[in-house]
Each structure stands twice: as structure tokens, then as C-alpha cells.
Amino acid sequence: MDALDKAVTQMLRHVAERIILPRFRTLASHEISEKTPGEVVTIADRESEEWLTEQLATLIPGARVVGEEACEFQPELMTKLDKGTVWLVDPLDGTRNFAAGLPHFAVMIALVAEGETQGGWILDPVTARTCRARLGRGAYIDGVQVNARPTGRPGLVGALPNRYADVAGRARLERLADELEQALPGLMCAGADYPRCVDGTQDFAMFWRSLPWDHAAGALFLEEAGGKIAWPDGRAYRVGDTSPGLMAAASPAIWEQAARMAEG
């Protein structure tokens, strides 16, 4: 682990221990609100992002910091993510779970240069598990290098999104659900689903939303572990593309199999 990995990991642990966990299952009603209908935010999201933004700004001169909550008030921050050096921050992925007292939530940070993800870090505050990857340097869980592995079941085990909007998406997901050996409900937390595609819990996951802070870190972690992430038409994942239906799998072969199932 180099100095950058250490610094980012320490930041993640700080917000988990000092800001997020003290409020887990103790949130007051006035500390939870809706950004948009069905889109929850808590005081922990906002305070975590504020602290991380201040700290990350000191690591690489000239790098911008783009956080999920800041984009609510400054949507223009989403533009030109493929220009320059950018820190992407998801201060509390799985906020709905967190607010409901469920343990599936994470903190994620990604480092992007000229549109290509250079580093990704995911911390599970409840278990303290840390997943990290650097481009070309492999993927690690709690300091141990890992390779993605399938479940080993005769058929595929996949996690499907709980919410999807358009008719084409609904048809694709219904075909997948019919073909899978086991269709798991999505955890509504990409920071939890990506590690499950590496550790043998599930063979793949489909994400209907593809906002950059939700996927940049996890996509790099998965690919550095030997997995594959792409849209159903085969286009490779790239930060800034928010097309629906992003598919992640423990291997390229499993990705191809799932994609065929979805197309019928």
C-alpha cells in the first residue's frame, strides 16, 4: 500500500468511525430528508462529504472534488468529468438502507484522470472491510490481493435492481430473472454489490442507475480482480456515461452469458 492508498483509506475510516457509525440507528427524524421523491439524504451524507472534500483537496494539487451531495446544488459539477484530475465521492452509498437501520451501506472514493479511473476505494463501515484497486496494480480486500471468483453454482446467481422504469428494461430483467438459477434482490448499494461479484457471493449484478460516484470505484475494483463491467450492448464502462442497465460480472465469460440471457 503506497502513501496515496494509506491516505485515502485513513480518510474513509475517519468518516466511518466519527461521522457515520455514531448515527447508525440513532438518526432523529429531522436528520433525514428527501432530495427528490424517493431519494433520501441524511446529515451523515452531508457531513461525510464535507469532511472528505476538504481532505481530498489537499492530496493532489489542481484536482477537483465532485461529491454526490454537492451535485444536488451544483449539477454543473457533473460536466467535464473526462477532463483533468477528479476525485469522485459517494459519502454514503446505500443511504436508504442506512436510514432504515439496515447494514448495507458504504463509503466510496474514486480518482479519475482524463476520464479513466486510476484508483478506487470502498469501505464497509459496519465490518470495516476495505476494498481498493489502482489501475494496473490489482484489487485488494483488507490488504490481500484477490481475484474474482464465480459462485460455482450450475447456473448463474445474479442481483437485479429493485426499481426500473422503461418497458425495455423491464422485459430484459424479467428474462434474466426467468433464466437465473437464483435471482437476488439488489442491495440498493453498489458499494456492497461490487464486492459480492468478487468474493463468490454472486456471479453478476445489474444496476439500473449509473451515476459516476456509484460505479467508478467499484468498476475498477471488479476489473482489476478479473471481472467485467459493460452496458448490455457491450460498450465498456466509462465515467460520465449514465446509460441505464450497467452489468457487472465475476468474469468476461459470465458477463457474456448474462447478456445473452437478458436478450433472450
Q: Residues 100-155: pLDDT tens digits?
A: 999 999 999 999 999 999 999 999 999 999 999 999 999 999 999 999 999 999 99
Tell me the C-alpha distance between 140 and 137, whole Å: 9
Q: Is the overall model pTM greater than 0.85, yes or no?
A: yes
Cell of 255: 458477463
Q: How far is CA 70 from CA 83, 93, 179, in A?
A: 19, 14, 40
Would the pLDDT of 167 be above 90?
Answer: no
Confidence of residue 23 (pLDDT cuts 50, 70, 90): very high
Average pLDDT value for residue range 61-83: 88
pLDDT at 84: 94
Would the pLDDT of 204 be above 80?
Answer: yes
3-state helix/strand/coil string of 177-222? HHHCCEEEECCCCHHHHHHHCCECCCCEEEECCCCHHHHHHHHHHH
Tell me the C-alpha distance between 89 and 122, whole Å: 10
Average pLDDT value for residue range 52-56: 97
Q: Are strands 106-113 and 39-42 parallel, antiparallel or unpaired?
A: unpaired
Using DSSP's 3-state secondary structure scheme, residue 150 falls into coil
First to last CA, the chain: 44
pLDDT at 203: 97
- Please name which of 199, 205, 193 lies closest in space to residue 94, comparing C-alpha atoms: 193
Average pLDDT value for residue range 162-191: 80
Using DSSP's 3-state secondary structure scheme, residue 236 falls into strand
Alpha helix stretches (DSSP H) within the chain? 3-15, 43-56, 68-73, 95-100, 167-179, 190-196, 212-224, 252-263
pLDDT at 163: 66
Q: How far is CA 16 from the centre of its chain?
A: 16
- Please name which of 53, 59, 47, 4 lies closest in space to residue 22, comparing C-alpha atoms: 47
- Please name which of 19, 44, 141 lies closest in space to residue 97, comparing C-alpha atoms: 44
Residues in the chain: 264
Tell me the C-alpha distance between 13 and 20, whole Å: 10
Q: Which domains does the chain have, with CATH numbers?
A: 3-146 (3.30.540.10), 157-263 (3.40.190.80)
Q: Which range in 1-5, 10-14, 259-263 is most confidently predicted, on average pLDDT?
A: 10-14
